[in-house]
Amino acid sequence: MKRGVGQGGYSLREKIFKKLRKDILNGKYKAGDSLVEMKLAEEMGVSRTPVREAIRQLELEGLVSSIPNKGVFVEGITRQDIQDIYAIRECMEGLAARWAIERIDEKTLKELENIYDLMEFYTAKGDLDQVGELNSQFHDIIFESTKSKPLMQVLSDFQYYIENIRLASLKAPGRAMQSLIEHKAIVQAFKDRDIEKGERVLVEHIRNSRLNVERMPRA
Amino acid sequence: MKRGVGQGGYSLREKIFKKLRKDILNGKYKAGDSLVEMKLAEEMGVSRTPVREAIRQLELEGLVSSIPNKGVFVEGITRQDIQDIYAIRECMEGLAARWAIERIDEKTLKELENIYDLMEFYTAKGDLDQVGELNSQFHDIIFESTKSKPLMQVLSDFQYYIENIRLASLKAPGRAMQSLIEHKAIVQAFKDRDIEKGERVLVEHIRNSRLNVERMPRA
DNA sequence: AAATTCTGTATTGTATACAATATAGTTATC
DNA sequence: GATAACTATATTGTATACAATACAGAATTT
């Protein structure tokens, strides 16, 4: 079977959704740009149907807005949005820490430690892209450990929104090492099942990340 | 033009989305039920296309999950989800209060006061459904006043998820009056532009709402 | 009887065809 | 020349047609 969007993953719709979302978040499509179904479909070598469905999902996420019979326009996310997201995370990750420490099982805890070890390794090696990827996994594991669908959904989405800027900010001088230390403290609190400490260090980690991002030069 | 889902609103897809979401939240479709596109389309007198698009959106919201080539199954929201949502709101509405008080304009403030007055009126009258509707509007205005897209999106969705139970809990003896008093304190803090007090009373209001819901008999 | 293959059916996934709407440009009218 | 009505085009909205897949149950083989 030949496909125009690339193999792997599953339905066309899903692949298209992810591709468009990525392209909006990394700036290929800028705020105000119009997305024409037919044009996108041709570019990707598919029909309008899966493109439409992907767009409907982007619409729900607020990444595009659609004016009936007129067109779909990119909303994107602004620098202000990113700051807001950090502020929201700062208050929600405290909850996440609490719930995760209460509910995480030994196997997942080991996984978390393992990811931390890899972060250590790749930080020493200087492969920050890899560290960024591990960073996402690290926090995703915490989200999932909360066993809370509402919390997971919000935080996972937000984490994806800010992935690019987060990756860039990891490259600020000294930040990678500082971030590593913070993750170490988080892992330790989880191993000790110390809820109060876990809340504190995780929130502090988010705050430091936010401050680091705010110090960054505007893209 | 004749339409099968009822006039008003806009596109079929949007109406179908709202209808399905409502039916999931009020329990017409229970967790585990399968949603068959063709069946829904026939019931509503439309084609599969808009139904599919609505389902894709529900999927993104996590209200249904879809297994490729097999079917779409209702996830619904559990009692645990609702408790989690209250916990999340409890920490996020502090932020909301802060940002809203900083950014709300006089006109919107007046609107908020106006809604409060109406709540007072309908509470006295005993029309709790009306009070519930005003309650939603009251909090939506606060969300919008934050001018924060990420915060608005999360809190508006969550507010809708718990609307039914919130309405039911308003009917607990004494709760309506207590809720009214809490809203009065919120309005006052907004008028005084007293951020600290606003945070405190709004968070307290959410906590009381949560406690009230937790005391409710299980549906 | 157990295991395997086949086949039919239900359902979704994708493509295409047709309808409705918005907009811009053009022509007609004053 | 300004304004209004018309027309053409671009785009989305909806419906239908066709393809792929999953699954259950029958037929077949061992």
pLDDT tens-digit series, residues B143-159: 999 999 999 999 999 99
Beta bridge partners, B211, equal none
| Chain A residue nearest residue B162, CA to CA | A150
Number of residues in chain B: 219
Q: How far apart are CA A12 and CA A16, in angstroms?
A: 6
Query: Which domain-ending residue is among B20, B54, B74?
Result: B74
Q: Please give the residue range of the domain that contains residue B156.
A: 79-214
| Nucleotide nearest residue B3, measured CA to C1' | D14
B56 touches strand C (CB under 7 A): no
Residues of B in CB contact (< 8 Å) with A are 10-11, 13, 49, 52-53, 56-57, 59-62, 68, 77, 80-81, 84-85, 87-88, 91-92, 94-95, 148-151, 153-154, 158, 161
B2 touches strand C (CB under 7 A): no
Say if B194 falls within a structural domain.
yes
Residue A110 and residue A59 share a domain: no
CB contact (8 A) between residue A85 and residue B154: no
Query: Which domain-ending residue is among A20, A49, A74?
Result: A74
Residue B70 and residue B109 share a domain: no
A219 touches strand D (CB under 7 A): no
Burial string for A80-106 (b: 16+ CB within 10 Å, else e) reads: ebbbbbbbbbbbbbbbbbbbbbeebee
Q: How far apart are CA B61 and CA B161, in angstroms?
A: 10
- Checking if the pLDDT of A7 tops 90, the result is no
CB contact (8 A) between residue A151 and residue B84: yes
At a CB cut-off of 8 Å and minimum separation 6, what does B15 contact? B5, B6, B9
Closest CA to A24 of A101, A84, A78, A103: A78
Give residue-wise pLDDT tens across range B4-38.
343 444 788 999 999 999 999 999 999 999 999 99
Beta bridge partners, A67, equal A71
- Checking if the pLDDT of B44 tops 60, the result is yes
Say if B130 falls within a structural domain.
yes
Residue A160 and residue A85 share a domain: yes
Say if B3 falls within a structural domain.
no
Residue A120 and residue A16 share a domain: no
Say if B51 falls within a structural domain.
yes
| Nucleotide nearest residue A10, measured CA to C1' | C13
Residue B100 and residue B61 share a domain: no
Confidence class for position A10, pLDDT limits 50, 70, 90:
confident
Question: Which residue in the set B56, B59, B88 is minimally distant from A150, CB to CB?
Answer: B88
CATH number at residue A116: 1.20.120.530
Average of per-residue pLDDT across B172-197: 96
- Measured to protein CB atoms, the chain C nucleotides within 7 Å are 10-17, 20-23
Residue type at A14?
Answer: E
Residue A159 and residue A114 share a domain: yes
| Distance measured from the CA of protein residue A125 to the C1' of nucleotide D22, in angstroms | 47
B70 touches strand D (CB under 7 A): yes
Residue B47 and residue B66 share a domain: yes
- Checking if the pLDDT of A4 tops 70, the result is no
CB contact (8 A) between residue A62 and residue B149: yes
> What is the percent of chain A with per-residue pLDDT over 90, rounded to a whole number?
91
- Checking if the pLDDT of A14 tops 60, the result is yes
Query: Both tokens of residue B176?
Result: 């309506």
Query: Which domain-ending residue is among B74, B97, B116?
Result: B74
End-to-end CA distance of chain B: 41
| Chain A residue nearest residue B13, CA to CA | A56
Q: Which residue in the block uniquely carries the two structure tokens 């207590």?
A: B178
Q: How far apart are CA B108 and CA B196, in angstroms?
A: 20
- Checking if the pLDDT of A1 tops 60, the result is no
Say if B7 falls within a structural domain.
no
Average of per-residue pLDDT across A213-218: 86
| Distance measured from the CA of protein residue B70 to the C1' of nucleotide C6, in angstroms | 21
CATH number at residue A52: 1.10.10.10
Average pLDDT of the residues of chain B: 93
Cα three-residue angle B213-B201-B111, rounded to 5 degrees: 95
Confidence class for position B64, pLDDT limits 50, 70, 90:
very high
Residue B185 and residue B149 share a domain: yes
pLDDT at B219: 60
Residue A136 and residue A191 share a domain: yes
Rounded alpha-carbon distances, angstroms, from residue B182 to A77, A143, B119, B135, B209 = 35, 33, 12, 12, 10
pLDDT at B11: 80
Question: Which residue in the set B56, B91, B158 is minimally distant from A53, CB to CB?
Answer: B56
Average of per-residue pLDDT across B114-126: 96
Instruction: Give the number of domains in chain B.
Output: 2
Give residue-wise pLDDT tens across range A98-135.
999 999 999 999 999 999 999 999 999 999 999 999 99
Closest CA to B198 of B187, B213, B209, B211: B187
| Nucleotide nearest residue B50, measured CA to C1' | D14
How does DSSP assign chain A, residue by residue?
Answer: ---SS-SSSS-HHHHHHHHHHHHHHTTSSPTT-EE-HHHHHHHHTS-HHHHHHHHHHHHHHTSEEEETTTEEEE----HHHHHHHHHHHHHHHHHHHHHHHHH--HHHHHHHHHHHHHHHHHHHHT-HHHHHHHHHHHHHHHHHHTT-HHHHHHHHHHHHHTHHHHHHHTTSTTHHHHHHHHHHHHHHHHHTT-HHHHHHHHHHHHHHHHHHHHTSPP-
Give residue-wise pLDDT tens across range B72-111.
999 989 999 999 999 999 999 999 999 999 999 999 999 9
- Checking if the pLDDT of B3 tops 60, the result is no
Residue A177 and residue A86 share a domain: yes
Mode of pairing for the β-strands spanning B64-67 and B34-35: unpaired
Residue A83 and residue A70 share a domain: no
| Nucleotide nearest residue B4, measured CA to C1' | D14
Residue A102 and residue A54 share a domain: no
Which residues on A lie below 8 Å from B61 (Cβ)? Answer: 60
Average of per-residue pLDDT across B193-200: 97
CB pairs under 8 A between A and B: 72
Is the distance from CB of B61 to CB of B72 less than 8 angstroms?
no
Say if A31 falls within a structural domain.
yes
pLDDT at B8: 44
Average of per-residue pLDDT across A43-49: 95
Say if A7 falls within a structural domain.
no
List strand C contacts in A 45-104 (CB < 7 A): 46-50, 67-70
CB contact (8 A) between residue A52 and residue B53: yes
Say if B219 falls within a structural domain.
no
How does DSSP assign chain B, residue by residue?
Answer: ---SS-SSSS-HHHHHHHHHHHHHHTTSSPTT-EE-HHHHHHHHTS-HHHHHHHHHHHHHHTSEEEETTTEEEE----HHHHHHHHHHHHHHHHHHHHHHHHH--HHHHHHHHHHHHHHHHHHHHT-HHHHHHHHHHHHHHHHHHTT-HHHHHHHHHHHHHTHHHHHHHTTSTTHHHHHHHHHHHHHHHHHTT-HHHHHHHHHHHHHHHHHHHHTSPP-
A68 touches strand D (CB under 7 A): yes
CB contact (8 A) between residue A56 and residue B61: no
